[in-house]
Structure 1
Amino acid sequence: MIAVVDIAVTWLWVAFLVLWFLAGLASKRSVQVQSGGSRLLQSALVLLGVALMFNLHHWITSGWLAVQLMPENAPIVLSGGTLTLAGLLFCVWARVVLGRNWSSAVTIKQDHQLVLRGPYRIVRHPIYTGLLIALLGTAMIIGITRAFVGVFVIGLGFWLKSQTEEQFMLHQFGAQYVDYRQRVHALIPFVL
Structure 2
Amino acid sequence: MDYLIAIVGGYLLGSIPFGLLLTRLAGLGDIRQVGSGNIGATNVLRTGRKDVALATLFLDAAKAALALILAREYLSQEAGYIAGAAALLGHCFPIWLKFNGGKGVATFFGTLLIGIWPVGTLAAALWLATAFVFRYSSLGALVASAAAPLIAVAFHASPIGVGATLFMSVLVWIRHRENLARLIKGEEPKIGKK
Bigger helix fraction = 2
Higher normalized contact order (CA 8 Å, seq sep 6+, divided by chain length): 1
For Structure 1 versus Structure 2, the TM-score category normalised by the shorter chain is 0.3 to 0.5
TM-score, normalisation: structure 1: 0.33
TM-score, normalisation: structure 2: 0.32
Query: Larger Cα Rg: Structure 1 or Structure 2?
Result: 1
